[in-house]
Amino acid sequence: MLSVNTPNEAAILPRRSFLTGATKITLSATAIALLAGNDGLAVANAHAATSNDVTILNSALGAEQEAVAAYQLGADSGLLQKPVLALAVQFQGHHKQHVETLAKTIKQLGGTPVAPPKSFSFPTDKLKSQTDVLAFAAGLEKGAVSAYLGAVPILQNRELAKAAASILGDEAMHWAVLRQALGQDPVPVAFVS
C-alpha cells in the first residue's frame, strides 16, 4: 500500500490495522462456517459484519452532519463573498445528500442513525475572514477524504464500499476546489492518505 506521510498518520494507521485485522477474522470465521455447513455461525458472522458496517456508516454520518453545520456556520458568518457563499451552499447541499443517504442506508441495515449533536466545537473565534472560513472548510474536507479512505476497505458490503468511495471522490473535489480558492495547489500530491 502506498502512503504519504502526514501529521495524523501515526494516529490513523493503528486504527486501520486493528479494523483490517478484525475484518480478516470475521471473513475467516464466516468462510470456515460455510465450509463446515454451520449456517448458524455464518449468519451470526454476517450479522456482525453488518453491525460493523452500520458502525462505520454512523461514523461517516456524524462527520457529514458536522460538515453541514460547518458550512452553515460559514454561510451565516457574513464573511463570504457572493460567489464563495454560493459554492459553500452548494457543498453543504452535497453533504446534506450524504446525510440523507447514509441515514437511509443505516436504517435499511437495521441500525439507528446517530442524531447530530446539539452543538459542535468549531473554532469560531479564529474565523475572521473569508480565507479563514475557506481554510477551515478545506481542513474538514481533507479529514473527510482520509476518513472515507480508511472506511472503504473495511466495509464488508462491497456495494457500501463503492458508495463510500463515491462520497470520497466528492470530498476530494471539495478539498481541491477549496485549496484552489485559497490560492494553493489544488492537487498537491499524487496519493491521498
Q: What cell numbers appear for 152 in the block?
A: 472503504
Q: What is the pLDDT of residue 20?
A: 36
Distance set, CA 127 to CA 22, 83, 122, 131 (Å): 40, 18, 9, 8
Q: What is the pLDDT of residues 90-141, one digit of tens each?
A: 999 999 999 999 999 999 999 999 999 999 999 999 999 999 999 999 999 9
Q: How confident is the model at residue 27 (pLDDT cuts 50, 70, 90)?
A: very low
27-64 as b/e, with b when 16 or more CB fall inside 10 Å? eebbeebeeeeeeeebeebeebbbebbbebbbebbbbb
Spatial separation of the C-alpha atoms in residues 1 and 81, rounded to whole Å: 41
Q: Output the CA–CA distances (angstroms, integers) from residue 21 to 12, 18, 28, 178, in the order listed.
A: 14, 5, 11, 35
Average pLDDT over residues 50-75: 95
Q: Is the pLDDT of residue 89 over 50?
A: yes
Task: For residue range 150-168, list pLDDT tens digits in order.
Answer: 999 999 999 999 999 999 9
The per-residue pLDDT of the chain, averaged, comes to 81
* Percent over 90 (pLDDT), the chain: 70
More confident residue, 5 or 170: 170
Question: How far, in Å, CA of 15 to CA of 36, rounded?
Answer: 32
Q: How far apart are CA 83 and CA 122, in angstroms?
A: 23
Q: Between 16 and 110, where is the model more confident?
A: 110
Q: What is the pTM of this model?
A: 0.75
Sign of CA dihedral 101, 176, 159, 12: negative
Q: Is the pLDDT of residue 80 over 80?
A: yes
Average pLDDT over residues 3-24: 33
Q: pLDDT at position 193, please?
A: 79
Domain 53-181 top-level CATH class: mainly alpha
Query: Which pLDDT tens digit goes with each residue over 165-193?
Result: 999 999 999 999 999 999 999 999 998 87
